[in-house]
A and B are shown apart, each in its own frame.
Chain A
Amino acid sequence: MANPLRAELPFLGREYPKGADYFRDRLRAAFAKNKDVNDPEKIKELISRGGFVVKELEALHYLRKYRALKKRYYETE
């Protein structure tokens, strides 16, 4: 069963503030740690956690960009 997170997470992580390498190493470690999990309940839980991380990354990237643009283009009192 192909896990869409396997492609989505590295894709989003390439812009990680601490560096793409940092993200990739931590991601690999996280996947490796859980590779022997067989319980379908547990698997579902981990996948939903992955989905949560995807949302967090999107929000992180967006906030960074929004704040940078706000700082550059709008006068702060």
Chain B
Amino acid sequence: MSARVLVGVKRVIDYAVKIRVKPDHTGVVTDGVKHSMNPFCEIAVEEAVKLKEKKLVKEVVAVSCGPQQVQETIRTALAMGADRGIHVEVSGKDYETLGPLQVSKILAALAKKEQADLIILGKQAIDDDCNQTGQMTAALLDWPQGTFASEVNIEADKLKVVREVDGGLETIKIKLPAVVTADLRLNTPRYATLPNIMKAKKKKIANVKPADLGVDVSSRLEVLKVDEPPQRQGGVKVETVNDLVRKLKEAGRI
């Protein structure tokens, strides 16, 4: 099987960190804050590596867009089993405004350049929660998409994808090449052990600029304001069941 898989990985603020909004409300505090690979991207990498271990694909290429620091994220993917990495350099203001549209243009260009047969992405990033990059990438390439995947199987030249949808599960069959976005229950990502991290240092990460791929990263969106969610109201204690019923009625709940 000569298939090549492209996996997009995003460097985000770690899921366990308490997010703080900047005093000027232009964004959230990122300086000195712990960052790591987006959890859904971890699941995407794991799925790609699993496919390689089953000998259904030949090569897994990890891609990330951003400044120098995203190389850490690519290294984590390499430690999990990706074969090589591509760092698309975007920094400064361009990085602050980088969003799904530009990233999907970059991924589409890379997919063509690297002759990828499959792109696996996380379903969404836990910082912007866009849930758009996979879908846009498929549209730009005119490839079919299997989003919110909780199971992926390669059958000949087709992909069988079980999708998590509101009503339950939907199973579709799509032709390769295709884009898949990973949902939480697709797999359990392996931990990048220290020996694997050391070994990954020998794997190559290529540097590329968006301009080299013919992509304009300027944004058509402007963030006007970032606010914290409303504070949780304190709860009220009641003495009796009747009190509870009365309060619920007052609140229009029953």
A interface residues, Cβ below 8 angstroms from B:
4, 7-8, 11-12, 15, 58, 61-62, 64-66, 68-70, 72-74
A66/B184 in contact, CB under 8 A: yes
Is B251 located at the chain interface by the 8 A CB criterion? no
Is B39 located at the chain interface by the 8 A CB criterion? yes
In the bound complex, residues from chain B placing their C-beta under 8 Å from that of A4 are 194-195
A73/B184 in contact, CB under 8 A: yes
A69/B191 in contact, CB under 8 A: no
Q: How far is it, in angstroms, between the C-alpha of A15 and the C-alpha of B16 when the chains are bound?
A: 10
Q: How far is it, in angstroms, between the C-alpha of A4 and the C-alpha of B15 when the chains are bound?
A: 29
User: Given A62-B188, A73-B184: A11 and B194 within 8 A (CB)?
Assistant: yes
A65/B15 in contact, CB under 8 A: yes
B194/A7 in contact, CB under 8 A: yes
In the bound complex, residues from chain B placing their C-beta under 8 Å from that of A58 are 191
Give min CB distance, A14 to chain B, whole Å. Answer: 10
Give min CB distance, A63 to chain B, whole Å. Answer: 10
Is B193 located at the chain interface by the 8 A CB criterion? yes
In the bound complex, residues from chain A placing their C-beta under 8 Å from that of B191 are 12, 58, 61-62
Q: Which of B188-221 contact A (CB under 8 A)?
A: 188-189, 191, 193-195
How would you classify the secondary structure of chain A's contact residues: helix, strand, loop or mixed?
A: helix
Please encode chain B, from 115 to 128, with 1 for each CB lying within 8 Å of some chain A CB and 0 for all others. Answer: 00000000000100
From B15, B16, B39, B193, A8 is in contact (CB under 8 Å) with B193
In the bound complex, residues from chain A placing their C-beta under 8 Å from that of B39 are 65, 69
Give min CB distance, B216 to chain A, whole Å. Answer: 32
Q: How far is it, in angstroms, between the C-alpha of A11 and the C-alpha of B196 when the chains are bound?
A: 13
Give min CB distance, B100 to chain A, whole Å. Answer: 17
17 A-B Cβ contacts within 8 A?
A: A4-B195, A7-B194, A8-B193, A8-B194, A11-B194, A12-B191, A15-B16, A58-B191, A61-B191, A62-B189, A64-B16, A65-B39, A66-B184, A69-B15, A69-B184, A70-B184, A73-B184
Q: How far is it, in angstroms, between the C-alpha of A28 and the C-alpha of B195 when the chains are bound?
A: 21
**CB-CB nearest 8 A-B residue pairs:** A58-B191, A8-B194, A11-B194, A7-B194, A69-B39, A69-B184, A68-B15, A65-B39
Please encode chain B, from 25 to 66, with 1 for each CB lying within 8 Å of some chain A CB and 0 for all others. Answer: 000000000000001000000000000000000000000000
